[in-house]
Each structure stands twice: as C-alpha cells, then as structure tokens.
Chains A and B, each alone.
Chain A
Amino acid sequence: MIEDEDIDILLNDLFDIYGYDFTRYSKASLKRRIIRLCALDKIPSYAELRYKVRSDEVYFKRFVEEITVNVTEMFRDPSFYKSLREDILPVLGTKPFIRIWHAGCSTGEEVYSMAILLQEANLLRKSLLYATDLNPSVLEKVRKGIFPLNQMKQYSESYIASGGIHDFSMYYTANYGQAKFNKELSEKIIISTHNLVSDSSFNEFDLILCRNVLIYFDKELQDRVLKLFDESLGTLGYLALGTKETLKFSAVQSKFKQLNREKIWKKII
C-alpha cells in the first residue's frame, strides 16, 4: 500500500536528483500509475521503489516513462482532423512557411497523422513539424515512425472518417507485424525533448497541438502551460486541445476565440 505522503516524498526525490518536477501532476492519476508500475515490475514495497528510483538512473527513466501516460493513436477523433483539413490547413496554406508544434507528442501517432494531412493538402514541403515530449524513449519511436501493424485497420477507418480519400496503406510499408511510415513524412518531423513544466518557449508557431496532456496537470500548471503556448503562437495562430480540455476559465482565455465545435482556438490578440 502506497500512501499519498510516500508519493510526495518520491516526487521530491525526482526533482532533487533528476530535476523532473511532477508535483503539479494530477495525484489521482500518478498514484494509479505508480501502483500499476509496482505490480508490473513486482516491486514489493514503497521503500524498494524509492531506493531503485533514487539510485538507478536506468530505472528512473523507466519510472518516468511509465508514470506518464503514453497512450495515443492516429486520427483519433476523426471530426477533429476533418476540421484541420477543412478549416485550418487552407488558412495555413497561404503562409510561405508553416511551423507546427506537437507538445507532449508521446510516440508520435498524431504527428504522422498531421504529416499525412499536410501532404494531401500539398503543404508538407513547406512545413516543419516539431515533436516534443519529456520522455526520450517515446521520441525514439517518433524518429523511427514504426507502429504496430494490427492497429492499421482502425487507423485506416479513422483516416477515411477524417475525410481521407486514399488507400491508407500507401503511407507505410508492412513488415514483420510492423508498419513503417514513409520517409517523406518523417523527414519533416523535428524531434526534441521538451518538458512543459520547466522548459520555455523555443520558437514561434502557426499551430500548436497538445491533446490529452493538460488533463494530467493541476489547474495552476494548466494555466502556466497555456501561457507558454500563448507566447509560442504567432498572431492568428491556432491552438488545438483534446476533446475534454478547454481554454475556458484560463488566464489566456480572452486572447483566443474558439473556432467551432472542435477544440481549436484562434489567437486573436
């Protein structure tokens, strides 16, 4: 049994030793993830877990990867991608150059979905997609662009539902149960670690996507990250959040206007 106080001590350790600050993450989610990890790795006690995290840097990396949620998929919420196709890309297409930031991109399924949209709109050649996450190991997967083949049927259905008209399999090569996405997609993806909690703005973007990341943060951290996005967006840039996330009640609310039913906002100031 792990008590809330134990988790607080562990989070302080992470900050003191490794500089990672999880203290403003949702406690309910963190606690579940930590209990799950102890069961997965057969760690018998909290003391043992704390010792391993403190003393073993390799295990610390695994710990961070497992307590953060890295579940994602391609073309999740097809109506959202449809809106990107129909409402956002035509506007971005008028710019000489398009910069997009996927903040907290995890294993990159959404980044590749976006690259496919851009290619179909004939905009990929003048676009750059910045994919960032705090976990170096998930970014390695983005770099490779290899996803499980058994997911492709569902992704293909979502792709079609998002308004895709091609045979989805033209975007990857299947081999040994894996789907490797085409090089012209990954060539436009720039990968870097970035921690939304502690790192600052690093560029100006036309579109920032950060979907299902803010739900793991408390209100104060949500506000801080939204401010960071505001600082990183050019005028009339777009911000896209997850279906259950909102700018409502945030400090930057007045600077943005929600576009439609999808969770996409336009920066108006």
Chain B
Amino acid sequence: MEENNIKAPCKVLLIGGSAGSLQVIFSLLPIIKPDFTFAVVIVLHRRNSADSALPELLSTKTLAPTLEAEDKDPILPGKFYLAPADYHLLIEKNGTFSLDYSEKINFSRPSIDVTFECAAEIYGPSLVAMLLSGANEDGTKGLLAVKKMGGTTVVQNPDTAQMPFMPQHAISNHAANHILNIRELAEFINNLSD
C-alpha cells in the first residue's frame, strides 16, 4: 500500500516553473504515464506571445492531450493544460478556467502564486502542487496556501535546478512537503493516479 492512499485522491496537479523549468518539463513529460487520472495544469513564466507554439511543442513529448487553457474551459482529468502567456490563470468553483489580465504579481503574468492560491481554495486536500527551477520568488506563497488547505507540495531539489533560487526560496519558507530530483518527480506523479 502506498502512503498516498491516506490522502484524498489527486484531482489536479499544478506545476509551476520559471527560468530553467522548461527542460525539466520536457524530460518529465515522456516519463509520465499518459493514462493519469487527474488534470495537470502547468504555469510557466514565458515571454509574451514569442513562444505561442509551446503547447504543440509539449504535445510531441507525451501521448496525453496538451492544450493551452482557454477561458471557461472545464478542467478534465487526463489532460495537460498550459497557462496562456500574459494572462493570470484562475480556477472557478465549478471547475472551469477563468483568465485575468490584472496587474503582474512577482513581476509575472501568469503568476504561479495566483493559480496555486486559487486552486488551493477549490481543491483542498485533492490538490498536489509542484514548483520547479526559477530565479524569482513566485510560487512560495502559492505552495503555502496549498499546504494550508491540506494539499501536498513538492519542490524540485535546488541542487538539480538550473536556477535554484525559486525552489530554495520555497524550501526556506517551509513550503515543501517533499523535495525531489527530476527522476523522483516523475515517479511521484505516476504514483498519484488511482
């Protein structure tokens, strides 16, 4: 029996990352079994509109559907959703996405904190949030919110991160339940499916 079984089954897995996180995602995607039973929502700091081909790029790494999250889309299990560039990605109580063009948070839009905090309130213990490489403070507050509402938080081991600042900042603020290297992250995700 896995220790995960004592927790509520995972409904949504959030992955947040900034500088140096795209390579981690690229190496994770092929190892994640495509029949996962939850939705994966990825929030990356990326340049506005410059890399609009990112969802297609991600789709070459996995058999599971990869989509850019659209306003009012329902969040469905078994799919990868990517936050669109230059919008904050919010989640409504009825399990749909909302986009928001308000002020940048932590110099970022999308901000990882915004999506994590929003999801924490809605999914509580059935939420898992992961923070990867980055050179920014974004994500720590979001992880703390996830933890507070009973969700599980995972942070990439800063030693394995191209930019250790972001994961280290989260760890220093006691926001991490687990600190894992890349291979362990994939294993962790594969064990989340029920």
Contact = CB atoms under 8 A, between A and B. Distances in A.
Interface of A: 4, 26-29, 32-33, 69, 71, 77, 212, 214-216, 218-219, 222, 242, 244-246
A216 B87 contact: no
Contacts of A216: 98, 100
B49 interface: yes
A29 B49 contact: no
B90 A69 contact: no
Contact of A26 (B70, B87, B92): B92
Given A26-B98, A28-B118, A244 B92 contact: no
B47 interface: no
Interface string B97-109: 0111111000000
A71 B92 contact: no
Tell me whether chain B's interface is mostly helix, strand or loop, or mixed: loop
Interface of B: 49, 70-72, 84, 87, 90-93, 98-103, 114, 118
A7 to B, nearest CB: 11
A69 B72 contact: no
Contact of B90 (A32, A77, A245): A32
10 contacts: A4-B93, A27-B93, A29-B90, A29-B102, A32-B102, A33-B102, A69-B100, A69-B102, A215-B98, A216-B98
Of A33, A215, A245, most buried by chain B (CB within 10 Å of CB) is A215
A24 to B, nearest CB: 12
A246 B70 CA distance: 10
A77 B86 CA distance: 11
A212 B101 contact: yes
A219 B90 contact: no
A9 B65 CA distance: 40
Contacts of B91: 28
Contacts of B101: 69, 71, 212, 215, 242
Nearest to B91: A28
A139 B70 CA distance: 30
Given A32-B118, A71-B103, A215 B71 contact: yes
